[in-house]
Amino acid sequence: MKVEVKHRKNKLGIMGWIGGGRFGAERYAYALHRLTGLGILAYFLLHIFVTGSRIGGHQSWESAMANFETPVFKFGEFLVFLAFAYHALNGLRLIITELGFMLGKAQRPVFPYVTSVHRQRPLFIGVMIVAAIIIIFGGADFYFI
């Protein structure tokens, strides 16, 4: 039997990503996950066409790449790298928790309450440290090595 689900109207809209309650760090991680996802998607759609220029041969590829050899594009590419590192590691955390791992066993809600958000926080901190390390190495590769 198909059940028609009626949703409540989303009054906050995009502003709900950053405000609308007493949010913890994970809520801002969620907002940043979406923001970085949209940035990566925009870059990826452009990337499909830029890499598609390979079909015109070596000269076509080199002339396409010449358009992007400016400091502004290089910085933009580095921002995409930052977004990738964050989105990938935070996404890994989301997959792990979606599958029910790192949340602990269900228990009675006895004071002091420990929610599943609290239980996964070490994982959140861990993946952010790994993302920071990748960003530092990537930054060194982009600008210093």
Partner 1 sequence: MRESSLWFWHIIAGAVIFVFLGLHMFIMHLESILGFLGLGYGGDVTSAQSVFMRSQQGFFMVTYIILLGAALYHGLYGFRNILFELSLSRTWEKIINWFFALGGLALFVYGTYVAVFIFLNPAAV
Alpha helices in 53-120 (DSSP H): 58-66, 71-98, 116-119
- Closest among 74, 96, 85, 100 to 32, alpha carbons compared: 85
**Is the separation of the CB atoms in 135 and 85 below 8 Å?**
yes
User: Closest approach of Cβ 54 to partner 1, in Å?
Assistant: 6
x/- letters, 115..144, toward partner 1 (CB under 8 A): ----------------------xx-xxx--
**Is the separation of the CB atoms in 53 and 60 below 8 Å?**
yes
Contacting range for partner 1; rule: CB under 8 A; set: 23-31, 46-54, 108-116, 124-132: 46-54
For tokens 């070596």, name the residue. Answer: 58
Q: Contact between 30 and partner 1 (CB under 8 A)?
A: no
Q: Which is nearer to partner 1, 73 or 114 (CB)?
A: 73
**Is the separation of the CB atoms in 19 and 31 below 8 Å?**
no
Q: Where on the chain is the footprint of partner 1 (CB under 8 A)?
A: 7, 9-10, 13-14, 34, 37-38, 40-41, 44-45, 48, 51-52, 54-58, 61-62, 65, 81, 84, 88, 91-92, 95, 98, 137-138, 140-142, 145
